[in-house]
Amino acid sequence: MKFRLIFLSLVFSFFFAQAQNYIGTVNSLVSTAGNYSLTHSPEKLYLQLDKQTYGINDTLWFKAYLFDASSFKASNQSNIAYIELSDESNIVQTRRMVILTNGLGSGSIPLPSRDFPEGGYTIRAYTQWMRNFDESNIFKKQFYVSDVNRDKWLIGYNSAIKDEVAQLHLQLTGTNKKFISNQQVLLGIRQGESILRRDKPQVTSPNGTIDLAIAVLDKPEPVYASLHKGSYDDKFPVYKFPIIYNRPEKTDVQFMPEGGYLVAGITSKVGFKAIGEDGKGVNLSGNIIDNTNKQVAAFTAQAKGMGAFTFAPKPGVSYKALINLPDGTKKEYPVPEVKPAGTVLSVTNPVQGDSVIITIKASEGLNNHYMLLGQSRGLICYGASVNLTANNSQTLKAPKNAFASGIVKFTLLNDQLATLNERLIYIDQKDNLRITVTPHKSSYTTQDSIALNVEVKDSNNNPVQGNFSMSVINDMRLNNDTVKTSIIT
């Protein structure tokens, strides 16, 4: 987009010009950058949907909230929001424009069966101004369209792989939690629109189980199993689910040094994350060994395949990780390359403390003058001049009350304002609104009217005036929102 390229060029030109005038002047840089951010702040758009799952030929109702990303106040910068609904193949099925007044808008979108058959969909919402920024700023949420008039099957399965053959053990139950027993079904294997295999009819066991053996297929496109009720004729219901392998040797382990990289001679904290082939975290352990096979560090995942350890790399030495996989085998993984010289940024965010502790360390012989900035919601909320001591390190404290709730980014810059290290943390000021909804009585009869008392207070128990939305639907048709998105996230 031409406007976006021009805009970004202006941003970089602006900050380069300011760098020449404000080197070493933290307060001036913070003030100038802050003013620029306020006048060029991105927008955030949130859509509150009436539910997560819709029926065939249903209607999707929504309310839109547009606010400034820095202040979290209603934005008047844009008065039109664009909404798109796309299917699982990322094909847009419908588009809508919504008028926004003082940052608010609402509407509905019909979901006719010809355009929205049963399946998963994604709703995207944005303004034209938002398209000048990163794609992550665009609102996205998944929802499902389901045929509520036919029986539902719930399919659970586990798999075991041996000699490149996956043994799938399926169990079918109804929404009433009863087994689908003695039911004739047909199983097929698909990849995209291609049919790779069709089995002969099978009958489920009394406890609703059925087994399937398939060859492991290492292909870029996902492979699906299709379960047909009755026959392969399209008029019968088809249940499709992905075949997910979970081979231990395919476990992905990533090492992430705090501040961005390892520096020889400086102790660093290294975070790691282990992800299985099924996309879930893998709890494992391992060791860091040098090029002489000497162990220099050990680590164990604490939760969902994640953990951290400290490590002091030496100059001229290479390292690798020897991982103990869940099946008992071992596998080597690379460790990020060690830089011969540089800086290390370490940030500690104590749960009970009122300050964030920041430690900067640098190799000998480097410039001892740096600049540290802390950003929240795109605004620079903290700035400090860093002058390293004789041991090439300095520890600072940044008050937490300088930042809003959310992600805070600390950036270490040199005297030319070049970024050296970055570190993200999350600060929770516990300032969420407290919303209480109280019905005027405990039970109601058919076609009765319901009166609700809605009370909103801030963290200091003061009343809050605002604009809110509420959805009321049949509890029998309500599916819990497993994504748990909210206007906060």
- Residue-wise pLDDT tens digits, 224-273: 787 877 666 655 556 777 787 788 888 999 999 999 999 999 999 999 99
Place of tokens 């500690």: 348
Q: Where are the alpha helices (H) located in 59-193, listed in sequence order?
A: none
Half-sphere exposure of 294 (CA within 13 A, CB side): 7
Amino acid at 261: Y
Confidence (pLDDT) at 27: 62
Rounded to whole angstroms, the Cα distance separating 98 from 430 reads: 33
Best CA proximity match to 171, nearest among 185, 159, 155, 183: 155
Amino acid at 147: D
Least confident of 198-212, 313-327, 418-432: 198-212
Task: Pull the structure tokens for residue 77.
Answer: 């910068």
Cβ count within 10 A of residue 366? 15
Rounded to whole angstroms, the Cα distance separating 207 from 351 reads: 49
- Residue-wise pLDDT tens digits, 42-79: 889 999 999 888 988 999 999 999 998 888 888 888 99
- Residue-wise pLDDT tens digits, 71-108: 888 888 899 999 999 998 889 999 999 999 999 999 99
The stretch 383-397 carries a mean pLDDT of: 87
What is the DSSP code (8-state) at residue 483? Answer: T
Confidence (pLDDT) at 320: 95
State the pTM of this model: 0.78
